[in-house]
Structure 1
């Protein structure tokens, strides 16, 4: 059973334990619970990614203990493991390959899926993952569990790092817009406190790391001049097209499967593409970008992956630059006339 920190993972574990312990009445049963640590290979500066996977599996062990009353049946055993820590996993097919390979090695005959399974911070990928897993000789089952209420999710989401991060960002923004008078310092404090209380529970999908944010801020300062350069070059290219007597435009909608994840990284790439003349991000679903391109040159630049690689540098460090570009990954986009 693959797990991620979803709102239904606890109930899914309970279901899997019920099925496994019932089967253990007739034969030995091993319940394998794995966390696919997909971001580890491209984010070596963030050991918290691997630590989060280990922490989740520790909670799984406690849940299994709780569900079996602290006394596991003699024929039942639990195995937990972190998979994919040394690989770059991007598509549902990549996740399926890791899971099917593990299932084959461990002689597993059934995979139970959480209905809200979303590894790597991506949106739920249950349907495409189920399709990819069908390639293997293993039964696939979605756990029949219900989603918890959003109220529970929001309550659990609040934490001191989130409050501090939202407070600091709000206070800094307020002071940048103020005249730095004593009254501004006081009202800014009150405003930032109110914003933190109201928005901290929903402001982040993951726990913020101040050390990591500091590194990303420095790398963003390096990225900004690069983005301005790309905008300037694209402006010259579009100016040439506009001033050319034949107006050599070739508008098309293309699809880009970007090797970035997480709300901030995806938003940064989407806005960077839009800010660069000749390309416009129309919509984003998980890591799939629908982009309107004005010329063949702008499409070529897009799939050469310069902006994508630069955004990966900002959020995941220099090692992420080694990941293949969209063109090298075989993604030349799904084209349609614009």
Structure 2
């Protein structure tokens, strides 16, 4: 074979429903380029969806390596042999050493890799969602357009949704949901034998009906007791914050001039996972002066009644405490929203005074 200029394809992979077909499509593109007399470089990368401070990081990094091992097997299946001489395969895990928050952060990682290795085409899995369960492909494509390469979405079909739901239930989900439902029921009961029986029946029904759809990720049975212990420390802190906010709002209400300054602001919180996001959103709502209006991709739209409530919000006390509950002490050291450059304005930009203060 006469080898001309090489074609370099970058394929970001994640454990999606269509990743297998995306790998097959990339191999087909490689074979088509080889038929034109070109050598081919296939770069399969996993952008670590976890953060280095997340206690699940070692597990998720291990899963990333396992996924790349599966990619190896799929490539051999599609080629029918070991990779021929015209094909070079590179596999790497990216982003494990940095904090990735938005689609732009993931895109930056891929763009940097593409520039370093001379990538000419990025092949995207239609189900590729590196930031979690929420759809990210459209904004990710926009962010990737900053790179000097073509972006091609693999033309693969998705599996039926009911197949995903059928596989969603697992023993950890059943046990976690049953335990939470049973404990909640008993907290509202009189602790009679009849209550213990009806609580078990009720928790069983709730578990059977809701376990397949309650969790987007598998709950960790080993980490759950630790998180519950931290949650017991968090509750007094939250109650203290609620009490302070009550005094602040009472002062505003009783003040003759009623010094309110209502405004909806966006908080881009450094939390991930349904439980942590829900806990932070509800904590903000429970604190007088702030109300979580909506949450999308960890971006919180929050109605704030006064400037003081916004200051407290972007100082990040609640956010740090929630990170401590779910990810541990080291994760609590992640910079606050203000330290990350979010001054609490509606557009997420700092005011001139805040910028001057930083200087």
TM-score by length of 2: 0.86
Q: Say if 1:29 and 1:76, in contact at 8 Å, map to a contact too.
A: yes
Q: 1:244 aligns with which of 240, 243, 255?
A: 255
- Indicate the larger mover: 39-48 or 272-281: 39-48
Structure 1 residues not aligned, in runs of 5+? none
Q: Which residue of 2 aligns with 1:106?
A: 117
Q: 2:101 aligns with which of 87, 90, 93?
A: 90
C-alpha separation between the residues in 2 aligned to 1:101 and 1:284? 30
Q: 1:18 aligns with which of 19, 28, 32?
A: 28
Report SS of the residue matched to 1:210: coil
Q: Which residue of 1 aligns with 2:219?
A: 208
The answer to whether residue 328 in structure 2 is matched with residue 328 in structure 1 is no
Q: Which residue of 2 aligns with 1:30?
A: 41
Give the RMSD, CA atoms, in angstroms: 2.1
C-alpha separation between the residues in 2 aligned to 1:46 and 1:136? 28
Q: 2:18 aligns with which of 8, 28, 36?
A: 8
Structure 2 residues not aligned, in runs of 5+? 1-10, 348-359
The answer to whether residue 310 in structure 2 is matched with residue 296 in structure 1 is no
C-alpha separation between the residues in 1 aligned to 2:84 and 2:208? 46
Report SS of the residue matched to 2:223: helix
C-alpha separation between the residues in 2 aligned to 1:73 and 1:175? 64
- Indicate the larger mover: 99-108 or 291-300: 99-108
Q: Which residue of 1 aligns with 2:288?
A: 277
TM-score by length of 1: 0.91
* Larger relative contact order (CA 8 Å, sep ≥ 6): 1
C-alpha separation between the residues in 2 aligned to 1:334 and 1:141? 36
- Residues 1-338 of structure 1: matches in 2 within 5 Å? 1-25=11-35, 26-44=37-55, 46-335=57-346
Q: Which residue of 1 aligns with 2:355?
A: none
- Indicate the larger mover: 299-308 or 171-180: 171-180
**Cα offset, 1:103, TM superposition:** 1.6
C-alpha separation between the residues in 1 aligned to 2:200 and 2:66? 35
What do residues 266-287 of structure 1 show as CA deviations (whole Å, max 9, x unaligned)?
Answer: 1111111111111111111111
Q: Say if 1:46 and 1:212, in contact at 8 Å, map to a contact too.
A: no
Report SS of the residue matched to 2:135: coil
Aligned residues: 336
What do residues 236-285 of structure 1 show as CA deviations (whole Å, max 9, x unaligned)?
Answer: 11000000000000111111111111111111111111111111111111
C-alpha separation between the residues in 2 aligned to 1:59 and 1:197? 33
Report SS of the residue matched to 2:222: helix
